[in-house]
Homo-oligomer: A and B are copies of this chain.
Amino acid sequence: MSSPQRNHEAPAGPIHPMPLVRLDLVVFRVEAGILQVLLAKRQQAPFKGRLGLPGGVLRIDLDASLETGAQRVAHERLGTALPQVRQVLAVGGAQRDPRAPWAMTVVYRAVLSAQLPVQAGKRVQELVWLDAQQASQDESLAFDHEQLIGQAIAGLRAEVEALQFRPGFMPEEFTLPQLQARCEAILGAALNKVTFRRRIEEAGILKEVPGKLVGGAHRPAQVWRIA
């Protein structure tokens, strides 16, 4: 009885105009113990010349879903694939963007694991890494992007506190001190070494690789992998 066959049946009721739907990206990395966020200098109005999140318009002819759309935007604007994007939230309203009578944005976040080379792509003048904590309070950013960054940081921190590491969060192989340092940078606080290792152990999310890695000029550390 539920046989959706006719794909172009008229919607029950009048056809209403739809808003402009954009996809924006909050891309993080950890550099020198600091959580940084990737911002683009805007080439167009509004907020021309200011810094804002890289993003693009949803293309219903190209994107199979919101998430794959976010991946496409990453490719076009940043020239790289993003590991494990996660949705932050959606915002929208009539006064959001002067280029359209009604505009909304779906925001995704991702963490770059290694030195995935990010390079400016289509319609991006320049890409800049800013301290994420500072950017989340920087009123000079375009739109309400500083608030979106704050929401993205909150979500990322919750995930790290729960030790939910997705593939792509770290390089293929890494040491526990490296992982702990990364977590500390994201959380903005020091973690206890004993507790951290015990929780990792109990979570059972890592497995060791029977090989070692030099750590400068000292005792080498055990190498691990996710899952």
- Interface set of A (CB-CB < 8 Å, partner B): 1-2, 4-9, 11-13, 16-21, 44-50, 57-61, 63-66, 87, 89-95, 98-102, 104, 106, 123
Q: Which among B2, B57, B90, B95 is the interface contact of A49 at CB below 8 angstroms? A: B2
Q: Which among B6, B90, B98 is the interface contact of A9 at CB below 8 angstroms? A: B98
Q: Is there an interface contact between A61 and B17, defined as CB atoms closer than 8 Å?
A: yes
Q: Is there an interface contact between B65 and A92, defined as CB atoms closer than 8 Å?
A: yes
- Of the A-B pairs whose beta carbons lie under 8 Å apart in the complex, a sample of 27, sorted by A's number, is A2-B45, A2-B46, A2-B49, A4-B45, A4-B94, A4-B101, A6-B98, A12-B44, A12-B123, A13-B57, A17-B60, A18-B19, A18-B20, A18-B58, A19-B21, A19-B58, A19-B60, A21-B104, A60-B101, A64-B93, A64-B95, A65-B93, A66-B90, A66-B92, A66-B104, A89-B89, A90-B90
Q: Is there an interface contact between A102 and B4, defined as CB atoms closer than 8 Å?
A: yes
Q: Which among B1, B49, B59 is the interface contact of A48 at CB below 8 angstroms? A: B1
**Whole-angstrom distance from the CB of A177 to the nearest CB of chain B?**
30
Residues of chain B with a CB closer than 8 A to A13's CB: 57
| Smallest Cβ-Cβ distance to A103: which chain B residue | B60
A89–B17 CA distance with the chains assembled, in angstroms: 22
Q: Which 5 A-B pairs have the closest CB atoms?
A: A4-B101, A60-B102, A65-B93, A90-B90, A2-B94
